[in-house]
Amino acid sequence: MAADNGQRFCLYSATELEAVLDEMAHRANALVRADKPLALVGILRRGEPLARMLQARLAILREQADTPLYPLKVKRYADNLELLHAETALEENPALAGLDLKNTTLLVVDDVLYQGHSLLRTCAWLARLGAQEVRTAVLVDRCVGTQPVHADITGIRLQVAASDVIECNVPPYEADFRVDVWRRLP
């Protein structure tokens, strides 16, 4: 995560985030028709374990345990918001191309919606594969998007200073499930 030359504050604990995920699952269940197949697409890294958490909740709500989940590697920024790729990098997952995308609702899950580049690149790629219905869910929306994309399901909306870094700590990548804000020192 971000370097330690700043101040870190916990905004949401694991207990609070469990309630947020419960609400996100209820919204996802209401958004997706029960008679239509659903597949989850977890944006690596932290979107994939968040998608697994939603998958478990949706299995209970939809009374079906077979909702598939496909990881998708998409990268533009480092955790400290340093630009890594001028063009958002997407590593195609061939398993998604084998789905009946015309009759399957896809729910793309990511940890933070920052400017929207990763989410837009993902949705555009899925549309090129033939997806007819793509929905999006993010744990945190920073409310500073610059791209024509939004999250259909948002767990938390945060309006923080432009220089602040939102850190979603998600197991197995971090020990504790929490959302922090990291503030650079002047």
Q: Is residue 40 part of a domain?
A: yes
Give CB contacts under 8 A, 24+ apart, made by 26-30: 26/61, 27/153, 28/54, 28/58, 28/107, 28/135, 28/137, 28/153, 29/58, 29/61, 29/62
pLDDT in tens, 129-182: 999 999 999 999 999 888 889 999 999 999 988 888 999 999 999 999 999 999
pLDDT-based confidence at residue 79 (cuts at 50, 70, 90): low
Q: Is residue 19 part of a domain?
A: yes
- Residue 70, both tokens: 């496909």
Mean pLDDT across the chain, nearest whole number?
90
pLDDT at 145: 83
Q: Is the pTM of this model over 0.85?
A: yes
Q: Is residue 34 part of a domain?
A: yes
Name the residue range of residue 134's domain.
6-184
Q: Is residue 1 part of a domain?
A: no
pLDDT-based confidence at residue 100 (cuts at 50, 70, 90): confident
Q: Is residue 49 part of a domain?
A: yes
pLDDT at 95 over 80: yes
pLDDT at 41: 98
User: What is the tally of structural domains in the chain?
Assistant: 1
CATH code of 25's domain: 3.40.50.2020
Q: Is residue 54 part of a domain?
A: yes
**Separation between Cα atoms, residue 174 and residue 167, nearest integer Å:** 11
Return the DSSP state at 176.
S
Q: Is residue 77 part of a domain?
A: yes
